[in-house]
Amino acid sequence: QVQLVESGGGLVQAGGSLRLTCAASGSGFSINEMGWYRQAPGNQRELVARFTSGDSTDYADSVKGRFTISRDSPRNTVYLQMNSLKPEDSAVYFCNAIAKDLRTSRSYKYWGQGTQVSVSS
């Protein structure tokens, strides 16, 4: 019962920047983890960055020092600031959340529809 909507993707030259936004909506849930994954053509979906349930951050080695994940205080919106973009960063970026249904205490994974990021050389 959680909806995730991504925005902010687009076309950018190598070395440029983009900021992705993921907004979560719904009721009766509590988000325990939220982050970003990406999938390039022919590749598996991979973790880019995330907030863990303990509010720590995890980053893929390939984006460390270039990407920064952040969120609003209510923790229903997360951002991914992407700097020094490279062509190999081109992919569809998906927002992911693990949320608990407060009525049942069961947790589920949710995915947004994705936003395209294209980096030209």
What is the rounded distance in angstroms from the CA atom of residue 50 to the CA atom of residue 31? 12
The DSSP element (H or E) to which 27 belongs, if any, is none
Tokens of 24: 């979560």
- Exposure letters 77-101 (e unless 16+ CB within 10 A, then b): bbbbebeebeeebbbbbbbbbbbbe
Could you list the pLDDT tens digit for every one of the 121 residues in the chain? 899 999 999 999 999 999 999 999 989 999 889 999 999 999 999 999 999 888 899 999 999 999 999 998 676 899 999 999 999 999 999 999 999 999 999 999 999 999 999 999 9
